[in-house]
Structure 1
Amino acid sequence: MRRDPSESRYTQSRLSPERRAADLARMRTEKFDVLVIGGGVTGVGAALDAASRGLSVALVEARDFASGTSSRSSKLIHGGLRYLEQLEFPLVYEALRERGLLLTRLAPHLVRPVPFLVPLTARVWQRAYYGAGVALYDSMASVLGFGRGIPWHRHLSRTAAKRRFPSLRDDQLIGAIKYYDGQVDDARFVATIARTAASLGAAVATSTRVVDVLRDAREVVGVRVRDMESGDEFDVRARTVIAATGVWSDDIAEMLGTKKRGLRVRASKGIHLVVPRSAISGDDGLILRTEKSVLFVIPWGGHWIIGTTDTDWQLDRSHPAASGRDIAYLLEHVNAVLDRPIAVSDIEGVYAGLRPLLSGESEETSKLSREHAVVEPMLGLMVVAGGKYTTYRVMAADVVDKAASRLPGTPASRTQDIPLIGADGYEHAWQNRADIARRHGVSVGVLEHLLERYGALYTEILDVADEYPGPLDGAPEYLAAEVVYAARAEGALHLDDVLTRRTRISIETVHRGVESAPHAARLMGDVLGWSAETATNEITHYVARVQAERESQRMPDDQTADAARLGAPDVRGYAPDPASA
């Protein structure tokens, strides 16, 4: 679809209701070079990579951007310090390169340095052993030219470490090593990549579930899609199909009716707790070893994120549940090093996600590969899985390279030189934020909040704030305008999309978004044309989801937690079924 060349890139990136309707119309009639299934970080990355090469691209996602694994991570862009211990140097090299690109060129408005302490409890060997590892980590980043934007590590005495993290118990500390990695709001990052792909002409639509794979003899030529908002079904045709479906990768093989699965993917559940900043006294994050995995205590604005677990999961993949046992495990390990234990009553939010790990037959999930793979199980279909959040761009380039082998004349990937929407102009705005805030009549704190979420697009939210002034009920750190903007420009279709992913209200407030839901529903309804009945239905579904999650977190094990969480069905499941109409 040709666009007016006078349109700005920002305008072309807006995922408005009108844009969704136009993109769905394109999908019904146009044959694309590349069709991507999956709106997680790898899927949107592949859509951006393909569109930036000049290919015609469509992307379909059954629910919302990042509604699966890509919104439920530790929110870190990191090189994988612990992989050095496993001698996985190529993986660390690759991740450090990507970290540097994101921090300095591609997404400086969304990815920023975050400091960590590695507490030391043994006087000689730990400082030498861990110190050598962190030094190698920083050296690889610096020598290879990927360390820009990240300060060098430092060794701290016991006194200096306590000054940085007063909550550490005296008997758990003789010193520390301070180093830096990157931090990101993963769901916002994914939505921004999707918008960047859209700005280059990709047709993008969420709430579009693939229900079948189209074949011509032994070749995949497209998919059949159900619009979960209307219930309509239609075919989307493409020269190549990319499945970036993570823990749902096996579903594609089932649709093909073949035993050739392409990749064997196992799901590993990781849960995180969110507690208020006041619960722990500290300026830096912590990284701690446990008998099963690595435990992070990560600063997150006015909160801390504590995670994660690493356990096999074979139950519902759409809504993995955190059990009471998972929560107790994290509290036990973090409280072992804190001078004031964190109680269940301190927890503001809990979230659980599934890592898609390339699998053998019987390995523990903590030992499975974090590398990725691309296969072509059937002519015309490429499947990509595994990998790390940080290296999404490499995964995307690899799978599009595979697809491009069927599209002669396709140029090489160029996404390492394409800043995401909002990056251009961000540095200047940040340096001049006091003057900009004064000119717009807002506090510096509000402007910083907008810059760190939208980058140079902050002016668009301030424009909306002229129509919808003030904060959101129940979440004063967010503007009401941000909810409106999410529906107008960021593809949000349901209340859960805004309260859980465009913002983080569902995990950052004790009420988990319930007190914000009525106000947010009114704001979204103005944009999406909701009736009073629809708005009430959205609120009812959201509250039921929160109640089901709370119930699951009181259950003793995975089976009972999963059953409790499934008590609240997905709001997208209530679109009319055309077969029954």
Structure 2
Amino acid sequence: MPSPNATTLSAASRAEHLERLRAATAENPLDVLIVGGGVNGAGAAFDAAARGLDVAVVEAHDWASGTSSRSSKLMHGGLRYLQMLDFKLVAEALRERDLMLTRTAPHLVKPISFVFPFFKRVVERAFIGSGVMLYDAMQSIGRKRAVPFHRHLSHRRMLNVFPALDGEKIVGALEYYDAQEDDARFVMMLVRSAVEHGAAATSYTSVVSYLHEGERVVGARMRDEETGEEFDVHATQTILAAGVWTGEEQDRAEATTGLEVLASKGVHITVSRDRIPAAPDTGIITQTEKSVLFIIPWDEYWVIGTTDTPWKEDPAHVATTSDDIDYVLEHANAVLGQDLTRGDVIGTYAGLRPLLQPVKDSGGASTKVSREHTVMEVEPGLTAIAGGKYTTYRVMAEDVVDFAISKDFPGRPSLTTSIPILGAQGFEGIRREKGEIQKAYGFDDVRADRLLMRYGTLLRDVLALIDEDPSLAEPLEQAKRYLRAEIVYAVRAEGALHLADVLIRRTRLDYEVRDRGVGAAEEISQLMAAELGWDESTRAREVETYRAFIDARLAGESSHSDAEAAAAVGAVQEVPTR
């Protein structure tokens, strides 16, 4: 086992963790092997490792490279589920949201208020108001409130809070609170938290096939996508947390039963923060005929979405179409006083929600259904989990680990309600040091707050890089919101192996700036090359691959069908192939 203080994800630590995987033989298997590096897989790895189990988590691409980096970036109770009378799910999600705000992840999750506009003065205020009152009441049962109580807004006060709303069509509003988070960073921090508790974690490590002894799954044959090497990893229990790829992995395991997961596409666009005047940390929520529309304040821009349409193409090639952008703009403009245009769109991103269908051909297989997610033994030794929502990832992780280890490792309860995610312990202390940090390093309020919410107490590690090399305190020339030190730290501690890992998930330059990060690619690749030992041809190949990938995404955004957009994105790679 590595030192419990070894929390970094780097090329060197990845090599060490690969050695641990190779050492997991039939005579000395892992306790638990987890396939999938999204929020469910990362959460399960953290949960299992915190119980003292010998755990490994593997991801075929980068951490959170699928759905878990393409969400609405909210930790919320799910107000719309009250309309479906799903009170248990809402209560569970609210409890989990408050736990993250107050104890386990206050550096990654922060409160945000939403204005819910009314178009009908009496009916909507009564109906929606009663629903939000219930929503708030459910947050006050048995615990101290983590966010303020809702309030009704008159027409005048509504426009004071959110001046950008269309005051001619909207007669009033209600303001209530939820929370937001950086989804990709949250997953990466979960993986590092698992490593802190002894787990092995390797990205760019895919499953070739599943190992069997008779009918029982006893691990998997893996491929290191960086070298092409294949090797066997034995495990007493294997957990499948593959989201929209669940069916593909069940087929790979030759399972005769399993979970049925369908994909629904959700698209978001970004526009400049100054384009929509509003009070700080205040967004909009309203319903559309197909989904919920969010206008969410994030850093120096707005995230606006989302769509909800079936995705029939390869889930690896999900992409935004021109029609998706028009749909989001149309519904945003329905509540805004001044219309947004295509010229206001800075960037877009698209993700796939894994929608759980009734269990297929269960044949008496062991199954646990818990509201929105299901845990199922698809073969002896192989447990799958699917469904759920981002906010309840911790409950899902607890459920799937409980289920998988119940026979082999009984008496090991989950501890994650009390163990903070890496960077949270002592967060209030470093937040009180904000003024001193600003003075010492010349940061303004915006940069200091951004750094604190990205790193928590790990900010000290980033600042230590600057102390060693003051040039790292400089912002990137083509992306001023990020410091050069953050790029170095992404490689040394956050598992970034390729240029796209940094541009898309350690930063969000692929939709935060109009050129989608292409302008910053040269400088970032130079910093990464020095850390990873790339020669000039490797560095240039990383840049060219990223440029081609962005060109393909832009081509998708000019198309009018999912098939066209998927074909454009599927014709290129996000990272260079061997």
Q: TM-score range by the shorter chain?
A: over 0.9
Asked whether the equivalents of residues 500 and 574 of structure 2 are also in contact (C-alpha less than 8 Å), the reply is no
* 2:195 matched residue in structure 1: 198
The match for 2:436 is 435
Distance (Å, rounded) in 1 between the aligned partners of 2:43 and 2:513: 31
Partner residue in 1 for 2:49: 51
How far the C-alpha of 1:257 sits from its partner, in A, is 2.3
CA distance in 2, matches of 1:532, 1:375: 48
- From the superposition, tell whether residues 2 and 520 of structure 1 become closer, same or farther in structure 2 (CA, over 3 Å): closer
Identify the range of structure 1 (196-205 vs 135-144) with the bigger mean alpha-carbon deviation.
135-144
* Alignment: residue pair count: 560
Which position in structure 2 is the counterpart of 1:314? 312
Equivalent residue for 1:277, pick from 252, 273, 280: 273
- Residue 275 of structure 1 aligns to a residue whose secondary structure is strand
Match of 1:303 among 285, 301, 304: 301
Given the alignment of the two structures, is residue 208 of structure 1 paired with residue 200 of structure 2, yes or no? no
CA distance in 2, matches of 1:351, 1:443: 29
For 1:175 and 1:534, the matched residues in 2 are separated by 57
Paired position in structure 2 for 1:238: 235
Q: Which of 148, 152, 155 lines up with 2:152 in the alignment?
A: 155
- Give 1:113's aligned residue: 111
Q: Which of the residues 549, 570, 574 maps onto 2:574?
A: 570
State the Cα deviation string for residues 252-300 of structure 1 (Å, max 9, x = none). 221122432x111000100000110122111221111111111110111
Q: Is the 8 A contact 1:121 1:174 kept in 2?
A: yes
Q: Say if 2:17 is the partner of 1:16.
A: no
C-alpha contact 1:99 1:146 (8 A) present in aligned 2? no
Instruction: Indicate which of 335, 338, 345 corresponds to 2:336.
Output: 338
Query: What amino acid is aligned across from residue 160 of structure 2 in structure 1?
Result: R
Match runs of 1:509-520 below 5 Å: 509-520=513-524
For residues 161 and 444 of structure 1, the distance between their equivalents in structure 2, rounded to whole angstroms, comes to 27
Q: Which moved more, 1:400-409 or 1:324-333?
A: 400-409
Residue 473 (structure 1) aligned to one of 450, 462, 477? 477
Aligned match of 2:250: 253
Alignment of 1:486 with 2:490, yes or no, is: yes
> Runs of 5+ in structure 1 lacking a partner?
363-368, 576-581
Match of 1:350 in 2: 348
Distance 1:516 1:96 in 2: 39
Distance 2:293 2:218 in 1: 44
1:380 equivalent in structure 2: 381
Separation in 2, partners of 1:151, 1:214: 52
Preserved CA contact (<8 Å) 2:164 2:336: yes
Cα separation, 2, equivalents of 1:561 and 1:504: 21
Task: Give how far 1:16 is off.
Answer: 1.7
**In 1: Cα distance, 2:330 partner to 2:489 partner:** 41
Measure, in 2, the Cα distance between the counterparts of 1:551 and 1:408. 51
CA displacement at 1:154 relative to structure 2: 0.6
Alpha-carbon deviation of 1:360?
Answer: 4.5
Moved more, 337-346 or 76-85: 337-346
**Aligned counterpart, 1:366:** none
Q: Which moved more, 1:397-406 or 1:68-77?
A: 397-406
TM-score when normalising by structure 1? 0.94
Q: How many angstroms apart in 2 are the aligned matches of 1:206 and 1:486?
A: 14
Preserved CA contact (<8 Å) 2:373 2:388: yes
Aligned residue in 2 for 1:579: none
Separation in structure 2 between the aligned mates of residue 2 and residue 286 of structure 1, nearest angstrom = 46
Is the Cα–Cα contact under 8 Å of residues 465 and 480 in structure 1 kept in the other structure? no
Equivalent residue, structure 2, for 1:176: 173
2:37 is aligned with 1:32: no
Rounded Cα–Cα distance in structure 1 between residues aligned with 2:144 and 2:72: 22
Matched letter for residue 508 of structure 2: R
224, 227, 233: which one pairs with 2:224? 227
1:500 shift after superposition: 0.6
**Is 2:536 the partner of 1:535?**
no
State the 1:2 CA deviation: 4.6
- Residues 255 and 379 in structure 2, CA contact (< 8 A), matched pair in contact too: no
Does residue 552 of structure 1 match 2:556?
yes
* Aligned equivalents of 1:146, 1:220: Cα separation in 2: 45
**Residues 428-453 of structure 1: CA distance to partner in whole angstroms, max 9, x if unpaired?**
22133113322445444332221110
Question: Which aligned runs of 4 or more in structure 1 are off by greater than 4 angstroms?
Answer: none
Superposed CA deviations along residues 351-378 of structure 1, whole A, max 9, x for unmatched, are 000010112499xxxxxx9700000011
User: Which secondary structure does the structure 2 equivalent of 1:273 belong to?
Assistant: strand
Moved more, 282-291 or 210-219: 282-291
1:506 matched to 2:510: yes
Does residue 137 (structure 1) correspond to residue 141 (structure 2)? The answer is no
Q: How far apart are the structure 2 equivalents of 1:285 and 1:177?
A: 12
Inter-partner Cα distance in structure 2 for 1:475 and 1:482:
12
Which secondary structure state, in structure 1, belongs to the residue aligned with residue 572 of structure 2?
coil
Q: Which residue of 2 aligns with 1:92?
A: 90
Paired with 1:146 and 1:315, the residues of 2 have a C-alpha distance of 46
Quick one: distance in 1 between partners of 2:482 and 2:2?
36
**What secondary structure, in the 3-state scheme, does the structure 1 residue paired with 2:177 have?**
strand
Does the Cα contact within 8 Å between 1:240 and 1:380 map onto a contact in 2? yes
1:47 and 1:398 mapped to 2: Cα distance?
12
> Which residue number corresponds to residue 367 of structure 2?
none
Decide whether the 8 Å contact of 1:551 with 1:561 is kept in 2.
yes
Deviates more, 1:292-301 or 1:402-411: 402-411
Q: Name the TM-score, length of structure 2 as normaliser.
A: 0.95
1:73: Cα distance to partner? 0.2
Corresponding letter in the other structure for 1:145: R
- The CA RMSD measured in Å over matched residues stands at 1.5
Answer yes or no: is the 8 Å Cα contact 1:274–1:303 preserved in 2: yes
> Quick one: distance in 1 between partners of 2:388 and 2:90?
12
Provide the C-alpha distance between the structure 2 equivalents of 1:241 and 1:360, rounded to a whole number of angstroms.
22
Give the whole-Å Cα distance in 1 for the aligned partners of 2:359 and 2:31.
36
